[in-house]
Each structure stands twice: as C-alpha cells, then as structure tokens.
C-alpha cells in the first residue's frame, strides 16, 4: 500500500482519507516468472501497476513472430490497452519475466476514481500523457535510427534492464537479430 501511495503522490498529494478510499479500488497480486497477466483472446479486466518484477507486453504476428512493445518495471503501468479501453478481447500478452507483484485496477474503477477525484483524473492524464510521449519517441527511434543508435538509447534510458532481461528479448524490442545485438553489446563494453 505504501508503494501505491508513493507512486500516486509523485504527481498529486493525498490526504489519508482520500488514499483510504482510493486503495479500495485496487487489488494486489503476486506474480511468478513466466506467468501471464494477459493472454491473447482473453478479456482484459485490469490495468496493472508494477510493484515489483519485470514484465513484457508483446504480440505475435500471423507468421508466429513475437514483437515486444514494452517492458515494465517498478512503477510502470501496463496492459493490452486496446482491449482494456475498448473492452475487447486481448490481442497481446503480458508476461512476467521476473517474480514480482502488481496492483490491479479495473476500467470501471479507473473511470469512477477519475470522475470522483479531479486529482486522480489529473494523475491518470499525466500517466497517459507520459506513456504516449514515450511511445512516440520509441516509434521515431525505430523508424529513423540505426541498430547502434537504438541500442545506445535503450542502454541510456534503461541501464538496469540490459542486465536483467534475456538478450533475445532486448533484440526483439530493438528490432535486431540476436547476432546484431551481440555485436552491439561487444562494441559498447
């Protein structure tokens, strides 16, 4: 609970009474390595705040190739947002890469919190805005940079993830082969 409150209070301030009410909208779940929080085809019931562990959000194309859209670590939000906001079945997966824990929030709970507390509406808008900016930066990087530049940017933004995530997943995220990633890794030692 303290971590949830700290996370929210990075953006807004809360009274004890407000937080006591807000926390009733969240459920908490321990997650094991290789466990799926979202599986393609399932209903997307929750948006997840990562409290501990590392996760990947990915989809599998028609040829069976995996494409990683996002990694999530402590204090990051994740889900299949298309399924969550449009209340459709998942087209993506959310998988735990390292034992952890998440706070779970339903769309109904999110909407109720946002409508009842303008502070929480501001909090969710700030989180969504930051996520949208990060997504645009990632797309621009993928479209206009070399593998070397993508690797350097990833290393700069997420130095702790480089050592905690299997190299094959880093390669998928960067859109390079594992061999190319090995060369990039060797060149940057």
DSSP 8-state code for residue 9: H
- Compute the distance between CA of residue 169 and CA of residue 146 in angstroms, rounded to an integer: 18
pLDDT at 189: 62
Is 90 exceeded by the pLDDT of residue 112?
A: yes
pLDDT value for 180 = 85
Contact 101, 28 (CB under 8 A): yes
Count CB atoms within 10 A of the CB of residue 7: 19
pLDDT of amino acid 182: 84
Least confident of 2-16, 26-40, 43-57, 149-163: 149-163
Residue range 41-69: mean pLDDT, rounded = 95
Q: How many CB atoms lie within 10 A of CB 6?
A: 10
**pTM of the full structure:** 0.90
Is pLDDT above 70 for 42? Answer: yes
Q: What is the pLDDT of residues 86-98, one digit of tens each?
A: 999 999 999 999 9
């Amino acid at each position: 609970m303290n971590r949830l409150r700290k996370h929210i209070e990075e953006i807004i301030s809360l009274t004890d009474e407000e937080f006591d009410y807000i926390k009733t909208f969240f459920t908490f779940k321990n997650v094991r390595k290789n466990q799926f929080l979202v599986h393609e085809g399932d209903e997307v019931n929750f948006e997840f705040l990562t409290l501990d562990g590392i996760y990947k959000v990915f989809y599998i194309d028609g040829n069976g190739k995996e494409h990683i859209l996002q990694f999530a670590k402590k204090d990051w939000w994740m889900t299949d947002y298309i399924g969550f906001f449009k209340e459709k079945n998942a087209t993506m997966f959310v998988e735990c890469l390292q034992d952890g824990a998440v706070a779970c929030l339903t769309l109904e709970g999110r909407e109720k919190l946002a409508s009842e507390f303008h502070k929480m509406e501001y909090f969710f808008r700030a989180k969504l805005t930051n996520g949208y900016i990060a997504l645009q930066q990632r797309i621009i990087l993928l479209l206009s940079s070399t593998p070397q530049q993508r690797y350097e940017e990833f290393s700069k933004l997420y130095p702790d993830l480089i050592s905690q995530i299997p190299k094959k997943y880093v390669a998928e995220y960067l859109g390079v082969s594992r061999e190319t990633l090995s060369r990039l890794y060797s060149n940057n030692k």
